[in-house]
Amino acid sequence: MSDTTSPRVALVTGGSGGIGHAVVERLARDGFAVAVHYAGNKDRADDLVEAITADGGRAIAVGGDVADEQDMAAAFDAVEAAFGGIDVLVNTAGMMRLGPLVELDLDLLDRMHRTNIRGTFVVDQLAARRLRSGGAIINFSTSVTRAQFPNYGAYVASKAAVEAITLILARELRGRDITVNAVAPGPTATPLFLDGKDEATIDHLAKAVPLERLGRPEDIAESVAFLAGPARWVNGQVLFTNGGLA
């Protein structure tokens, strides 16, 4: 069991932008020492670390390709060296590219699935080996696995794989006192979601939600904070955080 007198430690992949940024800020406010992972935007990760430390928190930035096991092993090593161990992995890193199945470029399909499927598998495998007792693994799916919007086929296929990894790993970690869950956001106002969509499309998706707005990154961070902290009896689940989207 981890030392309860020390802060819990979280590694957030994709922590330099979008939902990951909000998750890092929320966990830092909750008292976690946080590792902000980035793939290409080191400056943004460093700025976030600087803001957290200026506010009295503990944070470091770690880089690497989530689908590269050597990169991510080095990232895990850096977090353990800085903070003494890891309690929570939040895997927000991902790609979303949309288009009809009949037209989608297969190279784009391969790149997206490498990040979303292999990347999740790599970081979950490392987390399963390294997280301390009492820990939590939190992956990211999408509510479109249920909403089934056209043009999302390749992306949803990758996230369905993430759900499968999540639900099976939860059962494989029997006896370890480590929970494994996924958060499935609905339409959320992030650069990843907004990129390439016109105003009419964005308004339509907002109105599809009974609360009649897009989600905010902070809304999604609330669910992550729940799973990372008090939700010790929630395990092997997909938490649809979507304002009631069918």
**Pair of tokens at residue 246:** 């069918």
Question: What distance in Å separates the CA atoms of residue 185 and residue 176, rounded to the nearest whole number?
Answer: 27
Which candidate in 140, 155, 193, 240 is catalytic?
155
Residue in 63, 39, 32, 12 with CA at minimum distance from that of residue 217? 12
Cα dist from 216 to 20, 51, 84, 96, 196, whole Å: 12, 21, 33, 18, 18
Residue in 5, 90, 10, 81 with CA at minimum distance from that of residue 52? 10
Is 155 a known active-site residue? yes
Question: What distance in Å separates the CA atoms of residue 223 and residue 23, rounded to the nearest whole number?
Answer: 9
The residues annotated as belonging to the active site are 155
